């Protein structure tokens, strides 16, 4: 199987680690891998102990080196629609998951791999990572979750990626806002773990609430987003969790 899903205990919570595992082929995405990603995310969602997901590519060379070229070459109009819908389904499984999803990006992040990374909540990259959307050079437009790129990096930079097919390195990706952190290759896992520690400092319900709002802020008009934010703020108090958390904070501050 080209997709692995492992659950790691971290205190009282768990972290799911989803790995595209075909390093000899740069973890490219064919139908089997795309279906495997969707199935793995469904399994993760059934585990109510999970607080965050890390998506990674196996090996040192690539996060995901794009879609499987042999499958692309064999498509006709009908099967092309079916294949690209599978790409969307895999990306949507990340984007729709109600808790934080981190892309751990090492090496090549190409085409469908960049779409998958864009569908995650944030991206932590190795300094040796590179990012490209080269479909246009194969007479294919970049589609589905490539539509997230203007929201992340602005329309001009998104057009540069999808119209030229040129790659950018990790430093430029950081400058553009395509990734949130860039670290040395040997520090990548520590950087991901630090992000997980920050996430796990919050309870699952507030993380779900915040992710719902982040999604709405991207898509809804400002006034609707503000109204929804007020509702989420009030709803948070139904569980009593804010009072407990504030009391703990105040007690810690008194000790300091």
* pLDDT tens column, 178-190: 999 999 999 999 9
Spatial CB neighbours of 62, under 8 Å, sequence gap ≥ 6: 23, 26, 27, 106, 107, 108, 109, 110, 113
Among candidate residues 227, 48, 31, the one with its CA nearest the CA of residue 112 = 31
pLDDT tens column, 6-64: 999 998 899 999 999 999 999 999 999 999 999 999 999 999 999 999 999 999 999 99
- At 1 the pLDDT is 57
- Residue 246 has a pLDDT of 87
Contact 7, 58 (CB under 8 A): no
Listed as ranges, residues in the chain with pLDDT below 50 are none
Rg (CA), the chain: 19
pTM, rounded to two decimals = 0.94
**Confidence at residue 255, expressed as pLDDT on a 0 to 100 scale:** 84
């Amino acid at each position: 199987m080209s997709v692995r899903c492992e659950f790691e205990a971290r205190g009282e919570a768990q972290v799911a680690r989803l790995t595209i595992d075909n390093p000899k082929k740069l973890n490219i995405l064919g139908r089997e891998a795309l279906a495997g990603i969707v199935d793995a995310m469904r399994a993760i969602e059934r585990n109510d102990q999970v607080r965050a997901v890390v998506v990674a590519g196996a090996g040192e060379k690539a996060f995901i080196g794009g879609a499987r070229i042999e499958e692309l070459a064999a498509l006709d109009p009908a099967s092309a629609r079916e294949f690209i819908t599978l790409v969307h389904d895999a990306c949507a499984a990340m984007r729709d998951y109600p808790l934080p999803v981190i892309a751990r990006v090492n090496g090549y992040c190409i085409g469908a791999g960049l779409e998958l990374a864009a569908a995650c909540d944030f991206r932590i990259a190795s300094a040796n990572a590179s990012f490209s959307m080269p479909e246009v050079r194969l007479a294919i437009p970049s589609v589905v979750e490539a539509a997230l790129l203007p929201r992340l990096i602005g329309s001009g930079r998104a057009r540069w990626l999808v119209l030229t097919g040129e790659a950018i390195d990790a430093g430029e990706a950081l400058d553009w806002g395509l990734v949130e952190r860039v670290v040395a290759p040997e520090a990548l896992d520590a950087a991901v773990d630090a992000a997980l520690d920050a996430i796990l400092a919050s309870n699952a319900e507030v993380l779900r609430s915040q992710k719902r709002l982040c999604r709405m802020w991207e898509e809804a008009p400002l006034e609707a987003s503000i109204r929804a934010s007020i509702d989420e703020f009030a709803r948070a108090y139904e569980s009593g969790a804010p009072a407990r958390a504030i009391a703990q904070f105040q007690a810690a501050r008194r000790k300091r």
